[in-house]
Structure 1
Amino acid sequence: MALPPPDPQFVLRGTGAAVHALHFSCGGQEPDIPVLFSGSENGYVHVWNLKTHRVDTVLDGHGKKSICCVETMGGKTRLLSQGRDQRICLWDLAEGRTSVTDCVFTENVGFCRCSLLEVAAGRWLMAMAAKALEEVQVLELPSKTSVCTLKPAVGAKLGMPMCLKLWQVYKTHHLVNAGISDIAIRPDKKILATGGWDHRIRIFGWKKLKPLAVLDYHAATVHCVAFSDHRSPREGLLAAGSKDHRISIWSIYTET
């Protein structure tokens, strides 16, 4: 008989608003304990200490506009955040600093998160929804040089981009549960997690996309999911942020 789905290891409270973005980063003062960044509807980025289960730092750089993306760039001291204020901010968090060092203006008022892909040491490509309704712009960072603009074929009506990802291999799979807010792939490429409008987190095997578990804790839409980047799956964590203002932390791994 299959074991029942687990409960969260613990739950983080205190964002004061719906959680729309999550990102783990390892390599802090205690390497075995990752740092968790969250972005909320009230415009704040919270830096969580997962040992104390409390907020260490609050970052305010988006004029109280909702945060839709947070991601580190080459370490936990360089942070990118994207807000509904049409700005993507680059932060310097080294030695306790909390300053915005640069900004990219997106000219897009939608909900589509940008996507980063490291192409060389200290160099990234960033894809984001462009000013034109159906287009996607790709920039090189940190120079902010335009690489290309992706446009639909003549006559095609694709609508506003809602989700995008820079990726170097791909395949497709039809999900039977409609309304997926976010997808995260564990760094070892063995499992993936989805956050759903139906308040649930679903776990799939990556190779064949076989359903493995349904995690049911939240009382509202799960907006975002993120895996920690620990090398060992047994040490890894899954975080899920919800419209119910809570972040659930789960221990999810497979034996192989």
Structure 2
Amino acid sequence: MSKRPPPDPVAVLRGHRASVTDVCFHPVKNILFSGSTDGELRIWDTLQRRTISSSWVHSAAHGIISIAAAGENRVISQGRDGAIKLWDLGEAGPSRSPLTTINTNSYHFCKLSVLNKPHAEITPTEKVSKNRHETEVGSETGGRNYVATAGEDLSVVEIWDVNTAEKLVKLPPSSVDRSAKSRGMCMAVGAFLPSESEVYAHVVAGFEDGSMVLWDLRNPSLPVTGVKFHSEAVLSLSIDSSCGGGVSGSADKKIVTFSLNPSMGSSLVKKEVILERPGIAGTSIRPDGKIFATAGWDHRVRIHDYRKGNALAILKYHHTICNAVTFSANSKLMASSSEDATIALWELYPPRN
């Protein structure tokens, strides 16, 4: 790490009245979405650094645990009440009522993962209605949106079609050597396509016992592989844009970068970063694959070289637990959110165009 002092944020977004649990950039526009524990969804203009709209999309009793952009004109919110809602985005903000609502009957802290690749194929293993295509909500304009999330049985991962609000697949984490229950609750999940040419989705999930499980959705009943890189619950994981590996954060004192080879069914530790204090609530790999960031219980945002794993900076703006970090699609901006009700915007190690 360099001896230079860590940079300050280029802007701090204030307006939330409660802990900001998640942040997400729009894939194209200069917009940031944020969600808080009192159920408020805010949309920010990242150029003018002001609020565009504020909506109460989940009850204050349950709040928001996750926010995800869904194509250019949609946003998905996930509440602690088990509800996942799809919203249409207009000029003034989200629609007054959701386009669809999924009631997962699952009460947990696992943030959903969106798979909105138009060519992704998911073969349902659950019963779905025969008129699925007639009930879809404008899939022509919004694109297909699948989400992976912890299920009603908290050790099982479920895949839902957000456009039709139907459950498609259940992924039990039991393998030849492990029962599902022994892993505990699903705490983090990531859905991805292994390459641009692949159409079959893969899902990786982190569990309460520190293990991670990988599925190929062509054979959802049996995981491809299971690994255990952590001694405590896996709280967050990110898969890089090439889908060749990722980063996991946990309630232990470790950040792990790992390789991922779905076709070989293998995942190996590339680098372990040992921390002084435990707890990584959020991880994010920059789209260009150069750096990754983590959000820590110790109020710190850490920046690492993704390929080598070495530390580049420790950002000390927030004064309570950091909940989430995310990068913009062009890799130029990073946002961090915290229980101190603020969002910090950062410009770090600018990508070479």
Q: Post-superposition shift, 1:217? A: 1.1
Letter in 1 for 2:274: V
Q: Which residue of 2 aligns with 1:206?
A: 306
Distance 1:45 1:223 in 2: 16
Over 3 Å counting, the alpha-carbon distance change for 1:12 and 1:5 in structure 2 is same
Equivalent of 2:68 in 68, 71, 89: 71
Instruction: Indicate if the aligned counterparts of 2:101 and 2:165 stay in contact, CA closer than 8 A.
Output: no
Distance 1:249 1:227 in 2: 10
Instruction: Indicate if the aligned counterparts of 2:25 and 2:32 stay in contact, CA closer than 8 A.
Output: yes
Letter in 2 for 1:83: G
Over 3 Å counting, the alpha-carbon distance change for 1:163 and 1:36 in structure 2 is same
Over 3 Å counting, the alpha-carbon distance change for 1:126 and 1:14 in structure 2 is same
Q: Secondary structure at the match of 2:65?
A: strand
Q: Which residue of 2 aligns with 1:31?
A: none
Equivalent of 2:187 in 157, 162, 174: 162
Structure 1 unaligned blocks of 5 or more: 29-33
Instruction: Indicate if the aligned counterparts of 2:84 and 2:102 stay in contact, CA closer than 8 A.
Output: yes
Q: Which residue of 2 aligns with 1:176?
A: 274
Q: Which aligned pairs between 1:1-256 and structure 2 lie closer than 5 A?
A: 2-28=3-29, 34-64=30-60, 65-75=62-72, 77-96=73-92, 98-99=95-96, 100-120=98-118, 122-153=143-174, 155-156=179-180, 157-167=182-192, 168=194, 169=243, 170=245, 171=259, 172=269, 173-177=271-275, 178-230=278-330, 233=331, 236-254=332-350
Letter in 2 for 1:67: I
Distance 2:154 2:301 in 1: 31
Higher relative contact order (CA 8 A, sep 6+): 1
Distance 1:86 1:158 in 2: 21
Q: Post-superposition shift, 1:4? A: 2.1
Over 3 Å counting, the alpha-carbon distance change for 1:3 and 1:115 in structure 2 is same
Letter in 2 for 1:182: G
The sequence identity of aligned pairs, in percent, is: 35
Q: TM-score when scaled to structure 2? A: 0.66
**Cα deviation code 1:110-134 (max 9, x no counterpart):** 1001101223162233110001121
Q: State the Cα RMSD in Å.
A: 1.9
Distance 1:192 1:86 in 2: 29
Which sits farther off after the overlay, 119-128 or 180-189?
119-128
Distance 2:27 2:187 in 1: 29
Q: Secondary structure at the match of 1:165?
A: strand
Q: Post-superposition shift, 1:211? A: 1.5
Larger radius of gyration: 2
Distance 2:90 2:50 in 1: 20
Distance 2:351 2:58 in 1: 42
Distance 1:3 1:61 in 2: 42
Q: Post-superposition shift, 1:98? A: 2.4
Which sits farther off after the overlay, 88-97 or 216-225?
88-97
**Cα deviation code 1:195-241 (max 9, x no counterpart):** 000100011111122211111111110001111112xx4xx111110
Which sits farther off after the overlay, 183-192 or 171-180?
171-180
Distance 1:16 1:138 in 2: 32
Instruction: Indicate if the aligned counterparts of 1:59 and 1:98 stay in contact, CA closer than 8 A.
Output: no
Instruction: Indicate if the aligned counterparts of 2:82 and 2:103 stay in contact, CA closer than 8 A.
Output: yes
Structure 2 unaligned blocks of 5 or more: 120-142, 195-242, 246-258, 260-268
Q: Secondary structure at the match of 2:341?
A: coil
**Cα deviation code 1:155-191 (max 9, x no counterpart):** 3501111111113333244331230000011111111
Letter in 2 for 1:119: K
Distance 1:10 1:23 in 2: 16
Distance 1:133 1:93 in 2: 31
Letter in 1 for 2:50: R
Over 3 Å counting, the alpha-carbon distance change for 1:255 and 1:186 in structure 2 is closer
